[in-house]
Amino acid sequence: MPVYTITLTKKAQKQLDKLSDNIADPILESILALANNPRT
C-alpha cells in the first residue's frame, strides 16, 4: 500500500500551534496516520 504525504496549510499549522500539547498531539497523530491509511 502506498504511503501518502500529508501537508498542512500555514493556517492549520498556526491553529495547531495555539493548542496545548496534550490537545494538539493526538490531533496531529490522527492527521499523520492518514498517510498510511487515508480511508479511515
Report domain extents, the chain. Answer: 1-40
Q: pLDDT tens digit string along 5-20?
A: 999 999 999 999 999 9
Predicted local confidence at residue 24, as pLDDT: 96
First to last CA, the chain: 14
| pLDDT band at residue 40 under the 50/70/90 scheme | confident
Output the nine-digit C-alpha cell for 14.
498556526
Mean per-residue pLDDT of the chain: 93
- CB under 8 Å to 37, separation ≥6 — which residues? 1
> How far apart are the C-alpha atoms of 23 and 1, rounded to whole Å?
30
Q: Given this model, what pLDDT does residue 2 score? A: 86
pLDDT grade, residue 39 (50/70/90)?
confident
